[in-house]
Structure 1
């Protein structure tokens, strides 16, 4: 059939007519189409709003059809039995009088049937339904979104009666009656068959909002099926208000800043926004928050689990919490209560707070603090630091842990798969005057810092193993007597000769004296733990003998001979001598030196250590390989800056020295050409400095050359900061890669050859910089003085940045260049080009003043020509009185 269509233009308010076919019914329907707000006049029945503007539409006394647009509309149907469609957008629809059909469609809509018996369908989105005592008999049909009913007109929950009725579909309808009236609101399929998701999630009164469980209690309804529902509630991307039931609900607010309340039951919340709010009642169940963002447990929430791999924070409250980290680096603070905390993956920080807590670091290198209370601490995998804090704490023997605890009566508990014979204990002096314990098994170790303090206090006094309990003293004896464990021998303050057995001995030289320690057979630990003073001769000799021994010399000028077997040797402070030769196996040396020149070393403090090769070996009998840095995991004591006024050098490399034709290898850790572990290599026929050894084997390491220059290569690992080497000239060679060299804190002259890469160079004092080929960037450090920048053919495109006028900087043109080979472009920046090439030097923000305060003060040529900035301009035929830069 043909339909007459009337169109109203918002631009010119003129009318036009067209014809279309209506397939919905056989009646002639007339529509008013408008893209502005419109109220139907008398005789007009139907209205369609067009476009996306937020406009208004209204009916009249007839039976109208109103259709909204994609914007936010307010649609009032007026009198009559009307049909209203909201369309897209968050619409407000009022039915007025009559029995109306109201459809919200997309968006978060507000539907008010008003007088009459109306059918309300919000459609997609989180919709709100309005009902009061004059509402008639309305029906809500809505299967999408988190919807709510708002009761107006001063209604209270006690004014209502709720009846649950099974419907023909097997679901449950709710009939909400207003007492003393005929008004009834029916919620069709409040619960669909087989579903725990309700149609209406929240009930709003003037006094506040109630979730389903609260609404049932407030109305004193007897709806057991609704109260026991375990709901799954999902929010939208908006800011949602989500309410659960008395069951064990799962509530996920999705995006947006959501407010979630589970009510009674053991509820689970998903949090993805730091502005999400969880509301839980006291004693309303054991609730869990699963969060992908940093989260602190809300009041009455017991458990927090972090997800993903972000480095985020989790915290508990005053309850007994369970906190679980994610795969990232987390900080987990459990707060008060007796809490359980799992770090899981990542390098985590766990803090127990008050209460008796259980703290498990999981994987990664974790820091675990028990704080107050009697806590249990488990490091898990990785290198963990465990601090029990106040209280009597229990530690679980772990992978590679360090225990620090000077409070309470503490316990170390071993796993059930360990026996006494599986354990070894090393007792080591520390800088505080106490003794550290290192307890090892085949796969695990625990270091107890200050196990016996300087004043005799014991850190861990109780040890539990296979149902047996040991004190620290009885554990030492039990370990020493088990499975061929050798003797524990301790010297005196005299000059002792201490000899071990064929078993695994621990021999300690005692507090002082010039001692000789012989390990003989077995895997021995020889330790010189004495105190030495400058100028005395109380030096010790440590002989490992057969077996895989550990020799620790501590202070004084000591003599360490590992003998046969794979030995570990640490000389400690002062000038130590290590012995190595054929048949010695694979020995490892760790030692260190200090950041001072020999002429500045007070009282001979420099550790000029020596390796003595025996049996007629010569330098040509050796092969040497070098790798950057070194493994610190098996080193007994790595000194810290706080132990010395003079800073120890610890940034060396690993040297492996092999004796040709044998399997004997000497590994030197922390070795370098300058202040490394070893300074001299002695043979029966000759002694070599480390620089001579480097040159002999062509090693790529920093060293002093024969001219007295300190030679570096940027393929080496060099620390340029805080190095005090007064009087030495440095030569630094860049690599073929893009190097970064910072000479700002280097004291002494430096010559730098950049190589083939694009280098970034920061100037210091008295530097000569040749960036090499490619495009280099050179920067003023802010206190650079008297530096020379080399530039010539094949130098590429180099740039000087932030050069201060007072820095007294020189550009030196290399090769056979003269002033005739140069052309200059001036302005804010000066660009110096070499004729016949693509090479150019850019001087950024060039300051030129006739008074002589210039960014570059001197331009020199290797042939002898030298120009000030003014003379340089004149020599190139440019007017030096004109502003060629920033004056």
Structure 2
């Protein structure tokens, strides 16, 4: 005998014979009042109804009755039990069962297996038993106990009570109830006291775990909205935690790796203590302290104060006017939007203010810090504030590529401002000192191109006339765009004029100088120098005691557009001896060790200086150089003497010969 929906089924064991009485349980109008057997046995409706809700070890579907309080048991098998109306007791028994309380105040026992219990309407009690169960209280005031296993508990509306304790497993509560004034409770059972329970916030969820066990209760969305709150946690010893206490406990740190969230509706004070912690301030003007180890701090909205503490910490101010303190260790600080103050503290730190009027702190023992400050907003003013104990005279300013470097004399402390010279968006507008001294960008740029007696690398600025002087050391100077003056000073220097009409001086030492684009003046100075004018109408100056110089003057514009380069000597034509060495032109100052070698002169006119000029104003054109060399060789061969002897013994004849090639400048101009 079985109930199948509203129908009664009678089947004969061992056969396929079955009798279905339709709507038997739907309404009394459909009743068959008696079942009679040949042996005289009679079943009345009471007996039939009792037999119809008896379970087997198979997969049973059992319905209770509308007019009474039923006791339904599933025994073995994956059973489905319906309490329907009345205050019913349903026991799923073994295996994976589904229990529906229906109307009334019902008691549902899942038993063993992975059971699903629905209290539905009325004040119900749901016990999951063993296994990973799902309990749904439904409407009204329900009590839910998942039992052993990892259970899902959902009280829904009403004043619900959830039981939890040692051996409960890892349970999850979802308690959404928008009804005002309802009070839901988690009841911690005997054997667990308040000091055993650890409270954690995990994202928007609340986690309660029992120390020394794997038992954990997760209340989903507890911190997302008040509709998901459990208003009280009660202990067997009478202790009660309300929501204010729970929220305070949830942001307490441990020595482990904590993840702690502040709250939207207040100003939080969060501390990570030990461990690699992650702290979220969320909304409000919060204070976050990472404590020891490597922490991540997020200020969120509001004007927050973030302390990294010891370790390699990462701090994000996010929105609002924030203060970020890295503390010890190599930290990374990101100010975010608005006006922030960033102090890396000890260690080699990375500081990024982003948009807003940001302040960066630096001083002795700050380490080797790096600032990246990209802000395209017009009118913002960023500041580097040098701490007490360091004056402006202690700070050395240098340009390193596109970066600005500030170092404190006598220490290893250094601050690098990335891309400072690349674009104005990366600028720090002011550097302030404790004594009131303020450096603006104009002063900073001027300081950055000052040389020392060391090996300096100095770059000029576009759009201005740079005056760069290398002093001592083997320096490298770059002129940039504009009409610059560059002087390598003492030492073996490399000097690059850049674009524009530049004056490029090597100074003393064995220098390498490049005029690059523009009409440049190049003077290697004393010692043996290498000079290359590049494009434009360049002048090579060879003064007294210029040494043994090499000139490379390739300019394809000489032949295409008529560029005119000049080789200018500080002696007369009588003092110059011209010779050819392979494809090079060698010019010797007679009676000295000074000479200049013009590379590849005889390879192409593109390698030649178009004009050679002497101190007395005479000019020689490149087209006549080879003829002059031949004439000088022929003269010395015919005279049977060297050119130096000829100058002494036959000066008139020498002068007459040179006059055929060297012409006074005023005559040519006329």
Task: Tell me the TM-score range normalised by the shorter chain.
Answer: 0.3 to 0.5
Higher strand share: 1
Query: Highest relative contact order (Cα 8 Å, sep 6+), 1 or 2?
Result: 2
TM-score (norm 1): 0.36
TM-score (norm 2): 0.44
Higher helix share: 2
The structure having more radius of gyration, on CA atoms, is 2
